[in-house]
Amino acid sequence: MTSPLTWQKAFETLRQTLDEDRPSLNVLDAGGASPFQILIATMLSLRTKDEVTLKASRALFAKASTPQAMLTLSEEEIAQTIFPAGFYKTKAGHIREISQILVDSYQGTVPSEKATLLALPGVGPKTANLVLGLAFGVQSICVDTHVHRIANRWGWVQTHEPEETEKALEALLPQEVWIEVNELLVQFGQTICGPASPHCQLCPLSDFCPRIGVLHHR
């Protein structure tokens, strides 16, 4: 019978065993990036592989790294630049709309309030929370497919939707680790705790994991 997996045990173990260069930061190229660049890169990352996101972000920011500069590009040019990012045509439209809103209403700066971010075209809770954490250091839990799956698999939450997982984790975890949740669990989910047949033999937490919902594992 497994011992309960506490968040302290999980975080301490993953901090020690996962690579220091965590994908969630590398994909967004967050080191030195502006809030605008982090916002746009986060949007590009939706339904898109990490390597494609990074390439598309760098290509786009080489042409326009501010809302003002982005408005000098046509929607078609933005789409061509970020291709083959998932839903690249829709994202191109949202990027240009957001740039116009930021210039018209916020002096070209990205707002640091969640409600305001959520009002921007194409921005959902995952994107808003990641921007708040990476761009402004605001403690927020970004729940993507990895965080949602693993939190349920560990028995920390019993939820059906990411929005429910976000609220449940906020009640469970202290604020000082909210930003780190996504950083740790994304890499863990990509490398070990995948959606189908996770690599439990390689997992440093296998002795503590209840494997809820896991039908097959390696």
CATH number of residue 165's parent domain: 1.10.1670.10
- pLDDT at residue 28, as a whole number: 55
Question: Is position 27 within any domain?
Answer: no
* Residue 51 and residue 66 in one domain: yes
* Residue 111 and residue 51 in one domain: yes
Question: Is position 212 within any domain?
Answer: no
- Is the pLDDT reported for residue 23 higher than 70? no
Question: Is position 71 within any domain?
Answer: yes
Range of the domain at 83: 32-136
Residues tagged active-site = 126, 144
- Is the pLDDT reported for residue 5 higher than 80? yes
Number of domains composing the chain: 2
pLDDT higher at 4 or 89? 89
- Is the pLDDT reported for residue 149 higher than 50? yes
Question: Is position 192 within any domain?
Answer: yes
Q: What pTM, to 2 d.p., does this model score?
A: 0.85
* Residue 49 and residue 15 in one domain: no
- Is the pLDDT reported for residue 21 higher than 70? no
Cα dist. 188→10, 11, 167 in Å?
Answer: 11, 11, 21
